[in-house]
Structures are given as structure tokens and as C-alpha cells.
Amino acid sequence: MKPSSFEYVAPTSVQEVTLALQENPGAMILAGGQSLVPALNFKLASPAMLVDIKKIPDLDSIFLENQKIVIGANVKHVQVEENTQVKDNHPLMHEALKYVAHGPIRNQGTTVGSLCHADSAAEMPIILILTDGHVTAVGPEGERTIPAKEFFKFHMTTSRRDSEIITHAHFPIPEKNSGYSFLEFARRSGDYAISAVAVLMNIDENSRILSVKVAAGGIASCPIRLSEVEDVLLGSTLDKSDVRKATEICIRYVTAPADVHATVEYRKGLTCRLLAKALVQAKETAKKGFIG
Ligand SMILES: Cc1cc2nc3c(=O)[nH]c(=O)nc-3n(C[C@H](O)[C@H](O)[C@H](O)COP(=O)(O)OP(=O)(O)OC[C@H]3O[C@@H](n4cnc5c(N)ncnc54)[C@H](O)[C@@H]3O)c2cc1C
């Protein structure tokens, strides 16, 4: 199929983007095009205007600021994956990026675009939720910060206003010595996950959990923190009964309906298995005194 006709503009500043979005209701931002272009071709989206942001130079860098990795809107997945500051400071994010689509898509698709597309199974939204990150939105009224837990509203729906561009994503760097794990299962490598689980954990010298964060994707209408799972694990040594309690609670968070990939029961069982394995892996990396 061919897309409906649309106007195309390629501004060179953020202000011009917000103006174009404000003056053309229904206009859409084009970043890497890896999700939007297929949507146009299938006529799932028919905007009257595409606002291409590739020519804005201020949005193409990755840098560290206030213990966060800051990623500009034009930064491709592959640039984040290959960035040594990300690898050294946020190994969990580095690990999760390996699961994002295929190489050719990672070469074009942007990390901020993935957050804005907000597929409930996408990896970067899970990491942003897990680490209590945020995005910067710029619109005609100025700039605002949107915390991850307020950004993701539903599958492919965010709290971004139509006239706003997300200029940057801010991923907090995990505490030093954090153990971590990112696990997912998809029927084919590079596909969106049927279920994905991420864990960050700190333990004391007796292997008692001092802090733990657990998030999952593909199991609900948007990526979520499993806060009751975190509560039950706090202070435990993660013996078999602790893991069992955690998986029993985890099941309640799996609310996605059956689809062509999985029945409800399959997704629940899968998520519990991923969680159990991810917790053990996170504890093992924490034991190694991994520098997070
Ligand atoms: C076959 C296939 C498999 C894939 N598998 C995965 C996967 O396993 N995991 C995964 O995470 N992703 C996957 N993707 C998606 C990929 O990661 C995309 O790159 C990403 O979702 C969108 O990034 P993009 O830069 O291409 O955005 P675009 O396609 O250009 O835009 C996507 C949406 O976000 C909006 N948008 C983009 N940037 C901004 C911005 N700065 N401000 C406001 N709105 C913006 C656009 O208007 C559009 O609505 C897959 C894609 C394909 C085609």
C-alpha cells in the first residue's frame, strides 16, 4: 500500500518544530521512521504533515548529567548501544538494547522515538520506568519534565501533547554495585517481546536485598513497575520461597489479553519464569560487586 499524501517539512530548530506542530493540527514528528513509515504505508496513520527532526543538530548527542544518561531525540539505538559511557555506567541498558529489533532497524530507529512510539513491549520504555527516568517535552508554552510513570499512558499512547516534541530522555544511572538482569522472550529474535522483565538489585554482604526494582513489558497496556513484587523481596535473601512469593504476586500484574502470540495463561507462566531467572541473575551480578 502507499501512504496518503502529506506535506513534508524539515526544520532546523526545536522552536520551528513546535511552531509547525501548533499550526498544523494532526502533524506528526518523523524521527528514524522505523515505526512511523510502516504505519503510513498501511494507512494506520495519515497525517497531513510530517515534521522531520533529523536536521536539528542540538538533538544528536548522548551525555552524562546529574547521574543520568541524557539521550537526544536524534540519537539512534545503535549509537546508544555502542556508547562506552552507557556500557560502563548503565550495563543494564546496554544489555536491553541487544533485544531491540534487528541491526538495520537499530541503525535508523531512535531511542527517544521508541519511547514516543510507546509499544507496551518495547525495551527502552521498560528501562525508563525501572529507573524512574524522565523525558523533556518542549511545546509552544515552553519546556516541561514528564516522569516515566506519567509518560506511558496506554499501548502506543503517551502524555505528550500534540504540539510538543520530546527533545531528550534522561535515564538515571543505577547505584554503584547494582546487580542487574534483562530477560525477554519473543518467538523470533528481534521481534517485540511476548514478555520482558528487568531487575536492578543491591545486596549486603550477607546477600540480603537492600533495594530492588522490577519492571516488565508486554504484560499490560504499558510498561509497569511490579512494586508489590519489590516490597515482598526487600530484606529477603532470595531463597526458593522468596522467589515463589514474588512470582505468585507477579501473576496479578499480567493483564494483557490473549493475542496471536500467547494465551493469557502462557504469558503469565512465561513472565513468572522470566522473573525467577532475572532475580537470580541480578543477585549473581550484585554478588560480583558489579560497578553499576
Ligand atoms: C520489524 C520491526 C521490529 C521492531 N522490534 C522492536 C523491538 O523489539 N523493540 C523495540 O523497542 N522496538 C522495535 N521496533 C521499533 C524500533 O525500535 C523503532 O525505531 C522505534 O519504535 C521508533 O523509533 P523511530 O526513531 O524509528 O521513530 P519513528 O518511526 O520516526 O516515530 C515513531 C513515533 O514516535 C513519534 N516520535 C518520534 N520521535 C519523536 C520525538 N522526538 N518527539 C515526539 N514524538 C516523536 C512519531 O511521531 C511516531 O508517532 C521494531 C520495528 C520494526 C519495523
Calculate what percentage of the chain has a pLDDT beyond 90: 95
Ligand 1 centre from 157 Cα, in Å?
A: 13
Furthest CA-CA distance within the chain: 63
DSSP for the chain, please give it.
Answer: --PPP-EEE--SSHHHHHHHHHHSTT-EEESS-TTHHHHHHTTS---SEEEE-TT-GGGS-EEEETTEEEEETT-BHHHHHH-HHHHHH-HHHHHHHTTSS-HHHHHH-BHHHHHHHT-TT-HHHHHHHHTT-EEEEEETTEEEEEEHHHHEEETTEES--TT-EEEEEEEEPPPTT-EEEEEEE-SSTTSPPSEEEEEEEEE-TT--EEEEEEEEESSSSS-EE-HHHHHHHTT----HHHHHHHHHHHHHH--PPP-SS--HHHHHHHHHHHHHHHHHHHHHHHHTT---
Residue nearest to atom 28 of ligand 1 (CA): 33
- Per-residue pLDDT reduced to its tens digit, 127-186: 999 999 999 999 999 999 999 999 999 999 999 999 999 999 999 999 988 999 999 999
CA distance 125 to 154: 12
Q: Which atom number of ligand 1 is nearest to the Cα of residue 76?
A: 25
Is residue 263 packed enough to be buried (19+ CB in 10 Å), middle (13-18) or exposed (0-12)?
exposed
Q: How far apart are CA 133 and CA 114, in angstroms?
A: 15
CA of 12 to the centre of ligand 1 (A): 21
- Indicate if the pLDDT at residue 289 is higher than 80: no
From 78, 107, 116, mutation site for ligand 1 pocket: most ligand atoms within 8 A of C-beta: 116
How confident is the model over 221-259, as pLDDT tens digits?
999 999 999 999 999 999 999 999 999 999 999 999 999
Nearest ligand 1 atom to the CA of 31 is: 30
Q: What is the mean pLDDT of residues 3-31?
A: 97
Is the pLDDT at 54 greater than 90? The verdict is yes
Question: In the chain, what are the domain boundaries?
Answer: 7-52, 57-172, 179-287
If one looks up domain 7-52 in CATH, what number appears?
A: 3.30.43.10
- Check the CA dihedral 120-243-285-188 and report its sign: negative
Centre of ligand 1 to C-alpha 185, Å, is 20
Q: Average of pLDDT values for 23-43?
A: 96
**Percent of residues, the chain, with pLDDT higher than 70:** 99
* Model pLDDT, residue 177: 86
What the block records as the C-alpha cell of 156 is 502506543
Mean pLDDT estimate for the chain: 96
Sheet of strand 224-225: strand arrangement: 179-185, 195-203, 209-217, 224-225
Q: Which residue has the higher pLDDT, 2 or 32?
A: 32
Q: Measured in angstroms, how far is the CA atom of residue 291 from the centroid of ligand 1? A: 31
Cβ-based burial of 215 (10 A; exposed 0-12, middle 13-18, buried ≥19): buried
75 CA distance to ligand 1 middle (Å)? 12
pLDDT of residue 1: 74
The whole-angstrom separation of Cα 93 and Cα 127 is: 7
CATH of domain 179-287: 3.30.390.50
Of 79, 76, 28, 18, the closest CA to residue 52 belongs to 28
Check residue 119 and give its pLDDT.
97
Instruction: Tell me the best of 28, 99, 114 to mutate to test the pocket of ligand 1, counting ligand atoms within 8 Å of each CB and taking the most.
Output: 114
Residue nearest to atom 39 of ligand 1 (CA): 113
User: Residue 292: which pLDDT band, with cuts at 50, 70 and 90?
Assistant: very low
Give the position, in ligand 1's atom list, of the atom nearest the Cα of 109.
Answer: 19
Question: Is 125 a residue whose pLDDT tops 80?
Answer: yes
Q: Which numeric CATH code is attached to 57-172?
A: 3.30.465.10
How far, CA to CA in Å, does 199 sit from each of 26, 178, 217? 38, 10, 12
Question: Position of cell 506535506?
Answer: 7
Give distance in angstroms: CA of 118 to centre of ligand 1: 8
Residue 101 has pLDDT above 60, yes or no: yes
What the block records as the C-alpha cell of 227 is: 512494586
The pLDDT-based confidence of 291 (bands split at 50, 70, 90) is very low
Residues with CB under 6 A from ligand 1: 28-36, 38, 73, 100-101, 105, 109-110, 112-114, 116-117, 122-124, 160, 165-166, 190-192
What value does the mean pLDDT take over residues 198-211?
Answer: 96
Q: Atom of ligand 1 at shortest distance to CA of 165?
A: 42
pLDDT of residue 176: 85
Q: What is the pLDDT of residue 2?
A: 84
Which of 219, 236, 206, 221 is CA-nearest to residue 275?
219
